[in-house]
Amino acid sequence: MIEFSVIIFSKPHHQNELSEALTPLVKASRAEKGAVMYDLHSCEEGVFVITEKWESQEALDAHEMTAHFRAFQEKAGALVEKVLKLPLLQV
């Protein structure tokens, strides 16, 4: 099982556009084979958190090759200030 969170900070004044770009990504990702969880959280300060859980590395690799993931990546450059990937820590 692969589990992590991605924190995405929108560029100033692009929060709504980023939210609109993330919505189809989340919906399509949830339907993928091997997706256990793909949740989106946000706050009014333009910070978005995606929490992902995948059955395997192969499922995650396949996700990163999908049309919806690549389409989001293309849009993200104009909308995203910074991205942090936080792996799950086993405690």
Nearest to 76 by CA among 42, 35, 3, 25: 25
- What does the pLDDT read at residue 50? 97
Asked if residue 53 has pLDDT above 70, the reply is yes
CA distance 87 to 52: 10
Q: What is the mean pLDDT of the chain?
A: 95
pLDDT (mean) for 61-88: 95
**pTM for this entry:** 0.90
13-39 average pLDDT score: 97
CA separation for the pair 86, 22 (Å, rounded): 18
- The whole-number average pLDDT for the span 1-16 is 95
Average pLDDT over residues 34-61: 95
pLDDT of residue 89: 77
